[in-house]
Amino acid sequence: MQKNLTIRKTAQSKNVKLWQIAEALGMYDSNFSRKLRHELPPEETAHILALIDQLAKEATQ
């Protein structure tokens, strides 16, 4: 079973790539992908979801 499905599906639906999230967090995309292998705490998930929304808005401007 894949972990962090909310993050993955939200990013996909808003056309935000995982590497873009990693870059915004100041980490390499490989490290971010490894981080997603384990379920994240709710606070961190909420932060990443807010970041996805922000990246999606910036892409449409």
pLDDT in tens, the chain (61 residues): 789 999 999 999 999 999 999 999 999 999 999 999 999 999 999 999 999 999 999 988 8
Domain ranges of the chain: 5-60
Cα separation, 15 vs 31, in Å, equals 20
Taking CA 35 as the corner, what is the angle to CA 34 and CA 38, rounded to the nearest 5 degrees? Answer: 100
Residue 35, phi then psi, degrees to nearest 5:
-60, -35
Return the pLDDT at 20: 97
Tokens found for residue 41:
């705490």
Return the pLDDT at 2: 86
pTM (predicted TM-score): 0.91
- Rounded to whole angstroms, what are the CA distances from 22 to 16, 17, 55? 11, 9, 11
Residue of 2, 14, 6 whose CA lies nearest to 45: 6
Return the pLDDT at 1: 72
Return the pLDDT at 18: 97
